[in-house]
Amino acid sequence: MFKKVESLIFTDDNYDEAVAFFRDKLVLEMPSESPDMVKFELNGFPIFVARAKEGAASFVTLESDNIESDYAVLQKRGIQFQEPLSTMKGGDKAAFFMGPAGMRFMLYQPSPEGS
């Protein structure tokens, strides 16, 4: 069903403070940066910090190699997605759902061109 835990994503409307925490306090490697997102790495595992318009959130990203099938299976198991499966800029596909204790998940499939 799932290929791997693809990454952790943190979104924050206090973006500069969030970036400074990972960069200056945790001193994680920072292989790439854009105006709205920074990629950090811990032993090669990606941790993203993204600019949010309002509030803060975190997501465990579960990579799928057949997102349509996994989406349907999870729905049959009672997972309620926050919005329908969508195609993002660049062709990646994603759907978001909540787990226990307020945990947030993103079911994710990269576009074939991005793989």
pLDDT tens per residue across span 6-44: 999 999 999 999 999 999 999 999 999 999 999 999 999
Token digits of residue 36:
């709205």
Q: Grade residue 114 by pLDDT with cuts at 50, 70 and 90.
A: low
Give the C-alpha separation, 78 to 12, whole Å.
29
The whole-number pLDDT of residue 56 equals 93
The whole-number pLDDT of residue 112 equals 84
The whole-number pLDDT of residue 45 equals 96
Give the C-alpha separation, 34 to 100, whole Å.
32
**C-alpha torsion angle, residues 106, 101, 70, 49 (rounded to 10):** 10
Residue among 93, 94, 114, 113 nearest 104 (CA): 94
Q: Is the pLDDT reported for residue 50 higher than 90?
A: yes
Taking phi over 0 as left and psi of -120 to 50 as alpha, with beta for the rest, 2 belongs to beta
